[in-house]
Structure 1
Amino acid sequence: MKATILLLTLTTAFLAQRGALAASYYVDCDFGDNGGEGDADDPWETLQYAVDNINNGDTIIVRPGFCEGCRIGESGAPGTGRKTLRAESGVTIEEPGEGNAHGSHIEVELFGGTVSHWVIEGFELAHAERSGVDLRGTRDITVRLCDVHDSGETGIFTAFSDDAVIEYNESAYNGEHGVYTSNSGDRPQIRGNLLHHNAFAGVHMNGDRNFTPGDGVITNATVEQNQIWENGMDGASAINCDGVSDSIFRNNLLYRNHASGISLYAIDGSQGSSRNQVYNNTIVMAADSRWVINIPSSPSGISNPVGNKIKNNILYTPRTNRGSILIYQPTIAGFESDYNVVVNRFSTNGGASIINLSSWRNRGYDRNSVVASPTNLFVDPNDPFEPDFHLRAGSMAIDRGTTVPVLIDLDGVPRPQGPRWDIGAYEFIVM
């Protein structure tokens, strides 16, 4: 017992000392020197040298200027041992580092191993051949406050990456997706991002059974408080979920997207996207779009989606031959949809035909939902530059929702403000 106590005491003392020794190092890509000390007065020159030469808990601070990217292959440690690569305002990366393997600007990968416990923060990443940030085989990597644009493929990409946190970034004008999480990486958190003008999806998630190791399903994802607009001119939903299950999608604002709004399906995933919670989203589609919520059947040999719950959402499309919700058959195990604001068009056969709300209700769905248009709902939905999807006074979405695990709105306002949850991404505040 005394030996155990002594060991714990020594371990605690060591960790406390290590925390006290955590340091900040500086990089100046224009005037630094990799032979220097790396301190504020004698900064290093390259990101690559910096990420290769810090210890657990240390922070790299990159001064304004144009830099080459880097490849991170060494892990930090949990908690206070995480390593941080942080840019001051005005740092732009427009080319990969010499050792980068995929044509992406910042790559995190260790062939044959896992890279864990890093924060990448504050960079502008422009014109990457492939992706601005590229995570492969990682765990507990956070990418935040980055401005990623004009990538050849995806702005922020992950593969086989568990516990990735992608938050408060802007990812736009990319050749494929704004954010792409792939290859059965579990528990991603995609939060507070601005994702717009990407050729395909704002968020694309793909479990992909064709790549090993992995089970072909992304589970326990949280996708919340994102604003996603003007994506999908070349196809793919604003939020695209191929083999994504047991996840929550809440407080997202999706508008003027040109394919579908949220799709729960399987093509490459090993099962249809199932048991997801789609709560308190505002989705207003472009005139040339497809379905707002799209839940089609799976290919032969792959299970169909089941158990998805669609509640407290605004699901609007102006397109008269599409509607609020498409499902692949009239009755689906565990499927629930109610307390939404909808248009009067639905499909229970994969879009082969359209039924009205009354017929939809006869299947047991949306019995407490209402039909409304944007002018009945929002402050200013038609502004071409800065539409305002907050609820207007008298909106049909106020106090019409049901109790769900969504305790704040897109602005961080506590829910509910009235006797019941409001419908959509914003809670109405009585001034």
Structure 2
Amino acid sequence: MHGLKPSRRFLLCAACFAVLLLFACHSGSSAAPATPPPSTDTVAPSVPGGLTSPSHSANQVQLAWTASTDNVGVTGYKVYRGVALLGQASGTAYTDTGLQASTTYSYQVCATDAAGNDSAKSPALSVTTSAPPPPGSGHTYYVDPSGDDANDGSAAHPFRTLQHAADVVTQVAVAGGLTVKVGNITSARVSGPETVIVRAGSYAGFQLNWDTPVAGSASAPITFQADPGAVITSRNGKTADGIDLEPGSAYVTISGFTIINGGTISRAGIRVCNSDHVSLLDNVSGNHGTWGIFTSHADNLLIQGNETYGSVLQHGIYVSNACVNPTVRANRSHDNAGCGLHFNGDSSQDDATFVNWNTGLITGALVENNTLFNNGTAGGSAINMDGVQNATVRNNLLYNNHASGIAMFRIDGAQGPKNNAIYHNTIDMAANGRWAIRLDQLAGTVTLRNNILYHRNSGRGGIDFTAAADVALTDSDYNLFGGGGPAVTPDDATGLTLAQWQAQGKDAHSLTGTLPALFINGSGASGADYHLAPGSPAIDKGQTLPSVTQDLEGKARPAGTASDIGVYEYGT
């Protein structure tokens, strides 16, 4: 009893006394009848009446109804949208939020009592949300090292910090009263374009959505645009990243920043989580503790024109966890300990509250026109794909990478590769590298066409399969093999020359070539030039593909009688 407050001690003692008194009264009178249990309540409340919508907007509906009656007492109400239980209310009103504009929704309500009896549902009420308001004029803010966060953010009176500019955008979104669903997250949505122009100078990083999720739209995006010379050298105030977009971002663009680790960015230069239509354009992100660019559950992602390098622990660009339709285009990723580009569906990180993020798969990826070199000293392919399906990998130049070139497999993903296409890539492996292409645990067809696969390691080769089942699911032809190792290892062990492989009915139109004959300068060093040499055996030897009409530099394919093999088209 020590430590109890006096009032609590008195109540406990009084309760004990009552129990003792009850025991004394009943001791020795075993014939006393037991008190019968109360009868079970089986009567349901009456049906709620008068369901109506006092008001609604573009993204929410208010509901109200008249109270039900019950023989014991109504304890609350269940609100349904369509056939699904939407929520519960203790009173006779409810507000449904995060809705789509100009959309009709159907609602019903039933009453419940303490015994768990539910009334019948009320007659359905249909409500159509309002049309979205016209886009606002939006705002443009400026940030300058000579500015002051007490300023109004105009060109003449800029803010000082990136974080303050991000906070102002958040305040504008909240004040507008609009919301939008981003996956399973309700975000405040800006009504007009919000743009932050960052002038040259040195800055700390920033984060968006830490306390309040904020989103743009196709007609009213949020843009952070850096002028040349705008450099982030230290982490933001919340996470170990330079720029961090927390869950709920949509139609946000990060463009033109240089993010160089000055000693405090132990995670990513740019990090994006649980988002839709985020674009990372023309940024430079280097020497960070873990990743140059990291994303998680990022639907309709665009990573284009960036340079990532020097990631100490892992990858240049890492697209992680289940998502749909990421595009990774025209980036340079080099000198990273791990992969140049890593994709991982990782079913252990699935989010059961939203269908796109609950598959353990990355689907619909487009990976094109990237240049990746000198990656993988700690392991990890130049392009690594775990649990990736319905992907296209085309026109990528890979050289001097130290693990594999392109690897498709299943370790963390829910399933293996399926319906993937590997077209028109040039892969020149380092002397200590592994296979140009490695395929493992396929779940469906993978198609290889018009790739140059050069391997300098005599113990490794052009294409490696883990098992016969992977060979059976691969459609490979019109490729060019070169180097000192085997062209193909069909079982992860037995090396075959191209002639031996073709004798099994594989790669019927594929051929071989040497470095001097293939390229202007295939040295694998910094001055390498992988344009095709005059008379190259790759010229006009590919299969012309309707889905690949340009080369790495945007030149038309084919320039001759058929498409050239590799990333470059000769003579255009």
TM-score for the superposition, normalised by structure 2? 0.69
Q: Map residues 114-263 of structure 1 onto 2, 5 A cutoff.
A: 114-127=248-261, 128-175=265-312, 176-213=314-351, 214-263=358-407
Deviation at 1:35, TM superposition (A): 1.6
Q: How many angstroms apart in 2 are the aligned matches of 1:362 and 1:309?
A: 20
Does 121-130 or 67-76 show the bigger shift?
Answer: 67-76
Corresponding residue number in structure 2 for 1:396: 537
Say whether 1:52 aligns with 2:154.
no
Cα-to-partner distance string for 1:232-291 (whole Å, 9 max, x where unaligned): 001010000011111000000000000000000011111112221000000001000000
Q: Describe the SS at the equivalent of 1:240.
A: strand
Deviation at 1:88, TM superposition (A): 0.6
Say whether 1:15 aligns with 2:134.
yes
Q: Does structure 2 retain, via aligned residues, the 8 Å contact 1:75–1:117?
A: no
Q: Map residues 64-75 of structure 1 onto 2, 5 A cutoff.
A: 64-73=200-209, 74-75=213-214
Deviation at 1:201, TM superposition (A): 0.3
Q: Which structure 2 residue ranges, 5 or more long, are not aligned?
A: 1-101, 103-129, 170-189, 352-357
Q: Which amino acid aligns with 2:491?
A: N
Deviation at 1:384, TM superposition (A): 3.0
Ranges of 4+ aligned residues in structure 1 off by more than 3 Å: 330-334
Selected match of 2:424 from 280, 285, 294: 280
Q: Describe the SS at the equivalent of 2:219.
A: helix
Q: Describe the SS at the equivalent of 2:416.
A: coil
Corresponding residue number in structure 2 for 1:312: 450
Q: How many angstroms apart in 1 are the aligned matches of 2:432 and 2:473?
A: 31
Size of the aligned set, in residue pairs, is 406
Q: Describe the SS at the equivalent of 1:241.
A: strand
Q: How many angstroms apart in 1 are the aligned matches of 2:417 and 2:154?
A: 49
Q: Does structure 1 retain, via aligned residues, the 8 Å contact 2:325–2:366?
A: yes
Cα-to-partner distance string for 1:98-127 (whole Å, 9 max, x where unaligned): 2x23x11110013xxx22110001111112
Corresponding residue number in structure 2 for 1:3: none
Q: Describe the SS at the equivalent of 1:129.
A: coil
Q: How many angstroms apart in 1 are the aligned matches of 2:327 and 2:320?
A: 13
Q: Which amino acid aligns with 1:199?
A: A
Q: Describe the SS at the equivalent of 1:48.
A: helix
Q: Describe the SS at the equivalent of 2:268.
A: coil
Say whether 1:41 aligns with 2:156.
yes
Corresponding residue number in structure 2 for 1:92: 231
Q: Does structure 2 retain, via aligned residues, the 8 Å contact 1:115–1:137?
A: yes
Deviation at 1:211, TM superposition (A): 1.1
Deviation at 1:328, TM superposition (A): 2.1
Deviation at 1:333, TM superposition (A): 4.3
Corresponding residue number in structure 1 for 2:106: none
Q: 1:59 and 1:256, CA in 2 relative to 1: closer, same or farther beyond 3 A? A: same
Q: Does structure 2 retain, via aligned residues, the 8 Å contact 1:391–1:397?
A: yes
Q: 1:420 and 1:375, CA in 2 relative to 1: closer, same or farther beyond 3 A? A: same
Q: Does structure 2 retain, via aligned residues, the 8 Å contact 1:137–1:161?
A: yes
Q: Which amino acid aligns with 1:181?
A: V
Q: Describe the SS at the equivalent of 1:132.
A: strand
Corresponding residue number in structure 1 for 2:62: none
Q: How many angstroms apart in 2 are the aligned matches of 1:80 and 1:146?
A: 23
Q: How many angstroms apart in 1 are the aligned matches of 2:329 and 2:526?
A: 23
Q: Describe the SS at the equivalent of 1:389.
A: strand
Q: Does structure 1 retain, via aligned residues, the 8 Å contact 2:345–2:387?
A: yes
Cα-to-partner distance string for 1:347-404 (whole Å, 9 max, x where unaligned): 1112x22112122123332110111122111111227322100111101101111122
Q: 1:156 and 1:383, CA in 2 relative to 1: closer, same or farther beyond 3 A? A: closer
More contact order relative to length (CA 8 Å, sep ≥ 6): 1
Q: How many angstroms apart in 2 are the aligned matches of 1:58 and 1:158?
A: 23
Selected match of 1:370 from 494, 503, 511: 511
Q: How many angstroms apart in 2 are the aligned matches of 1:218 and 1:397?
A: 32
Q: 1:291 and 1:305, CA in 2 relative to 1: closer, same or farther beyond 3 A? A: farther
TM-score for the superposition, normalised by structure 1? 0.91
Deviation at 1:78, TM superposition (A): 2.4
Q: Which structure 1 residue ranges, 5 or more long, are not aligned?
A: 1-6, 298-303
Say whether 1:417 aligns with 2:553.
no
Q: Does structure 2 retain, via aligned residues, the 8 Å contact 1:209–1:268?
A: yes
Selected match of 2:440 from 296, 310, 313: 296
Selected match of 2:246 from 104, 109, 112: 109
Q: Describe the SS at the equivalent of 2:166.
A: helix
Q: Does structure 1 retain, via aligned residues, the 8 Å contact 2:241–2:267?
A: yes
Q: How many angstroms apart in 2 are the aligned matches of 1:219 and 1:36?
A: 45
Q: Does structure 2 retain, via aligned residues, the 8 Å contact 1:391–1:427?
A: yes
Q: How many angstroms apart in 1 are the aligned matches of 2:309 and 2:494?
A: 35
Q: Determine what percentage of the aligned residue pairs are the same residue.
A: 36
Q: How many angstroms apart in 1 are the aligned matches of 2:467 and 2:411?
A: 18
Q: How many angstroms apart in 1 are the aligned matches of 2:515 and 2:131?
A: 60
Deviation at 1:212, TM superposition (A): 2.0
Larger Rg: 2
Q: Describe the SS at the equivalent of 1:422.
A: coil
Deviation at 1:52, TM superposition (A): 2.3
Cα-to-partner distance string for 1:310-357 (whole Å, 9 max, x where unaligned): 10000000111111001123354441110011135211112x221121
Corresponding residue number in structure 1 for 2:142: 26
Q: Does structure 1 retain, via aligned residues, the 8 Å contact 2:322–2:350?
A: no
Q: How many angstroms apart in 1 are the aligned matches of 2:448 and 2:366?
A: 15
Q: Does structure 2 retain, via aligned residues, the 8 Å contact 1:166–1:190?
A: yes
Q: 1:383 and 1:160, CA in 2 relative to 1: closer, same or farther beyond 3 A? A: closer
Q: How many angstroms apart in 1 are the aligned matches of 2:521 and 2:157?
A: 52
Higher strand residue share: 2
Q: How many angstroms apart in 1 are the aligned matches of 2:535 and 2:519?
A: 10
